[in-house]
Amino acid sequence: MRAVVTGCAGFIGSSLTDRLLSQGWEVVGIDSFEGYYPRSLKEANLVSAQRNEAFRLVEADLIELAAPGAPEPLAGIVASADHVYHLAAQPGVRGSWGRSFGTYVRNNVLATQALLECAKDHGVESFVCASSSSVYGDSATLPMEETAECRPFSPYGVTKLASEHLARLYARNFGLPTVSLRFFTVYGPRQRPDMAFNRFIRAALEDQPIQVFGDGSQTRDFTYISDIVDGILAAPKAPSGSLLNLGGGTRIPLSGALEVLASVMGREIRVQRADAQAGDVADTWASVERARDVIGFEPKVDLATGLSAEYAWLREAL
């Protein structure tokens, strides 16, 4: 089997790429190495893949690849694939305000449309698109179900919801078999340095206080990276145009998660409080019943086990 993985050097994209290669797939990875965090970290994510002859990296921007006259046209790359896994995106809720919003529109909406446009004419077996729990916004109904009204609470969430709508439009109008997956707070080895557990572990290792936005009562549904990859690989079994939550299926207050982290690290964690940030929601909690029924998704890794793995990885990386 042959796959295209966009965002292949990122946290989730590289983890998916390694899993596909371990299962004997041929993978073309596309990544623009956007400067959201250091390039060296993304290159480290690809060390294993780069050693595999079945992997080829295309370092390029999706919109530029789709433009007329591109040295290696995006349409040609997509035409060689059985499955497309679209994980490339501009991440981060807090960074999506103000003038940065244009970057989010370009990298999350326009790039998705360009890829969908290429894929619709080339008979791919599936087009799996990464979305986010951010599309729900500050929902009063928990757990969050796919049928709930989506009212994003950040510009980032708006762009991810737009990408979902585009995927469904191409499914309905052109028969492109798309599936959009709403990820809930993914963590584990290779987690981005701006994400909470990565920041918390690094601060604790340096004996610095952990900065927590808000009072710690906000709850999150944390999902371990291997469970997310399991769900991505199972997603092509879903009917075309599907929307599915991928989450841990439970929620915990941030203060409780810090207690688990302190136990894993075997040290006291000092907390420094800061004001809640614009776009941060009070609670997330995924209903995974639909994903369980449709693709057999079943989260397996509990928070303590997952944090132990991330702690071990980050301690070695530092």
Per-residue model confidence (pLDDT) at position 261: 97
Annotation says 156 is catalytic: yes
> Quick one: 2-186+225-249+285-300 is in which CATH superfamily?
NAD(P)-binding Rossmann-like Domain (3.40.50.720)
- Is residue 318's pLDDT more than 90? no
Q: List pLDDT tens digits, range 129-167.
A: 999 999 999 998 999 999 999 999 999 999 999 999 999
> In sequence order, what are the residues at sequence separation of 6 or more whose Cβ sits closer than 8 angstroms to the Cβ of residue 101?
155
Average pLDDT score over residue span 232-254: 97
Average pLDDT score over residue span 75-79: 95
Q: How wide is the angle at C-alpha 248 spanned by C-alphas 46 and 304, nearest 5°?
A: 80
Residue 290 in tokens: 């639909």
- Is residue 183's pLDDT more than 90? yes
Task: Give dist(CA 317, CA 312) in Å, integer.
Answer: 9
Residue type for 48, please? S
pTM above 0.85?
yes
Per-residue model confidence (pLDDT) at position 276: 86
**What is the domain partition of the chain in residue ranges?**
2-186+225-249+285-300
Task: Give dist(CA 252, CA 24) in Å, integer.
Answer: 37
Average pLDDT score over residue span 257-277: 93
CB 244 within 8 Å of CB 295: yes
Phi first, then psi, for residue 249 (nearest 5°) are 85, 0
CB 203 within 8 Å of CB 209: yes
- Rounded to 10 degrees, the C-alpha dihedral 43/45/51/57 comes to -60
DSSP string, 140-172: SSSSB-TTSPPB-SSHHHHHHHHHHHHHHHHHH
Give the percent of the chain with pLDDT over 90: 91
Please tell me what DSSP assigns to residue 183. E
- Catalytic position from the list 85, 104, 156, 187: 156
